[in-house]
Amino acid sequence: MQYSYVAEYGKYINRIIAEVKKAVIGKDIMIAKVLLAILAKGHILIEDKPGVGKTTLALAFSKAMRLDCKRVQFTPDVLPADLTGFSIYNKKTEKFQFQPGALFCQLFLADEINRTSSKTQSALLEVMEEGNVTVDGVTYHLPQPHTVIATQNPIGSIGTQMLPESQMDRFMFHLEMGYPDMQHEIEILRSRENGNPIDTIQPIVDAKMLIEMREAVSRVTINPKIYHYIASLVDETRHHPAILLGVSPRGTLALTDAARGMAFMRGRDYVLADDIAAICQDVFVHRIVMREQSRNSGSALQVIQDIIRKVPVPRPDGVKL
């Protein structure tokens, strides 16, 4: 039986997706996953070739959810202070005054994050884990809700470098856009006849409503058998012969939160094993490190699918799952 709050928020979910689809055509599954991560208080890393709509996707969500959005194009000369802010001396007051950086917003778009230095990337670690920034020993809280959507070009592209494991582990999802098929590409061309479709997006919710929806997601219940199923999937990544580095406890929490979000979007107030299987790949793929001899032939994705098939699915025994 559904709780009333699940049905109440369901109409907003469908309307947000409909608005984003005005600007992002043919990527319905991608849109749903990004919304899921936002509702589950997660951050999203979108990796793909330039020009497939990664930035447009992020901007479309900021408009549909009426979020204060700031965008930084990550290049080698971007400094940590550009993101966190800095203290400047005020002659009138004879005191140092803090100037907030680009991170002080509700939706931060880190464009081409893997083109900047490791030092600048590290400025995001505290933000993505705790929702704060610390400058000159003083901790500042960021506006809520706060979400980081980062895009990166494929590794090996000119001017890119791999993100460290500690950075990757803070993203709930690792997603890929992919090229549109021919029919959807024609729709993209037609949508531009009367201007940029992103300008037609109407706000469906605001920050206050999004916070309420996030709180509702956190109330989605999980049966002890489902907890065991999640832990078993994670444990398998730590003992699989093809995996050098398995999923961390942070990844376990991310999978649990994402499963709650999936159940919520599907109109339920409780998690099923199917909810976990549906998003397990997106949570795991960037967190595991393959052994050198196993990095070819589809490696990580294939191994994750093998793990999902191997771990027994919990069966109900009279207790709602």
Contact 104, 143 (CB under 8 A): yes
| Whole-angstrom distance, CA of residue 170 vs CA of residue 193 | 39
Q: For the chain, which domains are there?
A: 1-218 (3.40.50.300), 220-315 (1.10.8.80)
Residue type, 275: D
Task: Write down the pLDDT at residue 319.
Answer: 43
Task: Write down the pLDDT at residue 45.
Answer: 95
Task: Write down the pLDDT at residue 127.
Answer: 92
The length of the chain in residues reads 321
Quote the crossing angle between the two packed helices 224-239 and 273-284, to the nearest 10°.
30
Contact 259, 281 (CB under 8 A): no
Quote the crossing angle between the two packed helices 207-218 and 4-20, to the nearest 10°.
130
Strands (E), 142-233: 147-152, 173-175
| Whole-angstrom distance, CA of residue 20 vs CA of residue 203 | 10
Which of 80, 74, 62 shows the shortest CA–CA distance to 124? Answer: 80
Contact 65, 171 (CB under 8 A): no
Residue type, 274: D
Angle at 13 between CA 7 and CA 19, to 5 degrees: 145
Q: Cα dist. 268→8, 135, 158, 262, 271 in Å?
A: 12, 42, 45, 9, 7
Collect all residues with Cβ–Cβ distance below 8 Å to 55 and sequence separation of at least 6. 71, 109, 111, 151
| Whole-angstrom distance, CA of residue 301 vs CA of residue 71 | 30
Quote the crossing angle between the two packed helices 54-64 and 28-39, to the nearest 10°.
50
Task: Write down the pLDDT at residue 211.
Answer: 95
Task: Write down the pLDDT at residue 298.
Answer: 54
Per-residue pLDDT of the chain (321 residues; tens, 9 = 90+): 445 567 778 889 999 999 999 999 999 999 999 999 999 999 999 988 777 788 889 899 999 999 999 999 998 899 999 999 998 888 888 788 889 999 999 999 999 998 888 888 888 999 999 999 998 889 999 999 999 999 988 776 676 778 888 899 999 999 988 888 899 889 888 988 888 889 999 999 999 999 999 999 999 999 999 999 999 999 999 999 999 999 999 999 999 999 999 999 999 999 999 999 999 999 999 999 888 765 554 588 899 999 999 999 987 654 444
pTM for the model: 0.90
Quick one: how far is CA 8 from the chain centroid? 24
Q: What is the largest CA-CA distance in the chain?
A: 71
Using the structure block, give the residue that is written with the tokens 């959810």.
65
User: 243 - beta bridge partners?
Assistant: 290
Task: Write down the pLDDT at residue 107.
Answer: 95
Collect all residues with Cβ–Cβ distance below 8 Å to 91 and sequence separation of at least 6. none
| Whole-angstrom distance, CA of residue 176 vs CA of residue 157 | 15
The dihedral built from the CA positions of residue 245, 298, 154 and 84, taken in this order, carries a sign that is negative
Tokens found for residue 189 = 């061309």
Query: Which of the 8 DSSP states describes residue 270?
Result: B
Give 137-144's long-range contacts (Cβ < 8 A, gap of 24+).
138/98, 140/85, 140/98, 140/100, 140/104, 142/103, 142/104, 142/105, 143/68, 143/104, 143/105, 143/106, 143/207, 144/106, 144/207, 144/211
Contact 172, 257 (CB under 8 A): yes
